[in-house]
């Protein structure tokens, strides 16, 4: 039997790297992407594809490379991205544009480049790496939450629209996961300046965010959920990949009035 072909964007680090390594060990034909590694190089034991996901031409070249080699992509994992921190008021339109290009528009473009071959091959799985933060606004992560919420909403529609071709769409919502994200995260320029009214509390919250990631769960928990989705006959829409307390917060957010839920959030992440 032909091995299923998986393409994971952002296969060079963190969740993407762990997913590629795990799926390779499970017998899948895996390709990961990176901006910095040439097509076909195997620094992690599986072939890489050079791709800047905010550049249309680069996406097309990368997808064509895999299709030329394999003739198909059965599973696409839109993972490449990072975190964002800073106050909403401090975010410039240019910064918001950069973040939405990376987290929302890029996932749409990569997906649209892969769908025709999935349709031709009679089906596929699209798995978008979202975040627990997509479900509610967290202090100093408003732009990030907004971008991941947008990713979740278009994924829901895509799932409906692609169902006639046997292509399923799911999102995974990780909580804190121990990756390189503390080094790659975008911080908003103004929030890092003492003139910002948020400077003091933002710096304190940012230290807390970094600390929580540094002691968080291993990315293998996300990789195993990706495998579960691939092997499932009928994948669900969304899968949390988070600690008990973060999964509990998702439940609380669903059952409590937002005003009450925000009182709890402010205890954990004070805004003053
Ligand atoms: N870690 C967490 O706590 C957490 C929680 C919730 C959601 N997430 C989400 O999980 C995903 C992976 O994050 P991570 O924690 O694994 O971070 P990471 O360790 O920093 O890895 C990020 C990956 O994305 C790639 N990437 C970044 N910008 C790119 C661009 N413009 N074009 C192409 N590739 C790009 C990087 O590849 P190169 O640098 O090699 O190009 C790298 O492989 C992100 O979407 C993030 O929002 C993470």
CB atoms within 10 A of CB 30: 27
Q: 168-201: per-residue pLDDT in tens?
A: 999 999 999 999 999 999 999 999 999 999 999 9
**Alpha carbon of 62 to ligand 1 centroid (Å):** 17
Average pLDDT on 238-248 reads 96
Q: 35-56: per-residue pLDDT in tens?
A: 999 999 999 999 999 999 999 9
Instruction: Say how far apart CA 240 and CA 213 lie, in whole Å.
Output: 16
Report the CATH architecture of 5-268. Answer: 3-Layer(aba) Sandwich (3.40)
**Alpha carbon of 87 to ligand 1 centroid (Å):** 21
Residue 223 class from Cβ within 10 Å (0-12 exposed, 13-18 middle, 19+ buried)?
Answer: buried
Residue 74 class from Cβ within 10 Å (0-12 exposed, 13-18 middle, 19+ buried)?
Answer: buried
Q: 98-155: per-residue pLDDT in tens?
A: 999 999 999 999 999 999 999 999 999 999 999 999 999 999 999 999 999 999 999 9
Tell me the domain boundaries of the chain: 5-268
CB atoms within 10 A of CB 116: 11
Best mutation site among 128, 138, 179 for ligand 1 pocket (most ligand atoms within 8 Å of CB)? 179
Give the contacts of 209 (CB within 8 A, at least 6 positions apart).
83, 85, 140, 141
Which pTM value belongs to this model? 0.98
Determine the atom of ligand 1 nearest the C-alpha atom of 15.
16
Q: How confident is the model at residue 2 (pLDDT cuts 50, 70, 90)?
A: confident
Best mutation site among 10, 83, 182 for ligand 1 pocket (most ligand atoms within 8 Å of CB)? 10
């Amino acid at each position: 039997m032909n091995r299923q072909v998986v393409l994971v964007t952002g296969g060079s680090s963190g969740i993407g790297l762990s997913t590629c390594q795990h799926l390779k060990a499970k017998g899948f034909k895996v390709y990961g992407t990176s901006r910095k590694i040439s097509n076909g190089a195997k620094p992690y034991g599986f072939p890489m594809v050079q791709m800047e996901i905010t550049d249309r031409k680069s996406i097309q070249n990368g997808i064509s490379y895999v299709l030329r080699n394999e003739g198909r992509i059965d599973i696409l994992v839109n993972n490449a991205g990072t975190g964002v921190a800073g106050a909403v008021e401090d975010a410039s339109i240019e910064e918001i544009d950069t973040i939405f290009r990376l987290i929302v528009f890029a996932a749409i473009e990569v997906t649209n480049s892969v769908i025709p071959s999935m349709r031709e091959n009679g089906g596929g799985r699209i798995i978008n790496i979202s975040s627990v933060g997509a479900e509610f606004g967290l202090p100093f992560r408003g732009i990030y939450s907004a971008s991941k919420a947008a990713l979740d909403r278009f994924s829901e529609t895509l799932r409906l629209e692609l169902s006639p071709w046997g292509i399923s769409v799911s999102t995974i919502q990780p909580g804190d996961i121990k990756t390189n994200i503390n080094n790659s995260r975008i911080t908003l320029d103004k929030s890092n300046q003492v003139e910002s009214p948020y400077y003091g509390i933002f710096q304190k919250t940012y230290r807390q965010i970094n600390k929580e990631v540094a002691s968080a769960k291993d990315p293998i928990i996300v990789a195993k959920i990706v495998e579960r989705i691939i092997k499932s006959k009928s994948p669900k829409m969304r899968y949390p990949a988070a600690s008990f307390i973060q999964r509990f917060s998702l439940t609380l957010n669903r059952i409590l009035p937002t005003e009450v839920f925000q009182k709890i959030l402010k205890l954990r992440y004070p805004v003053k």
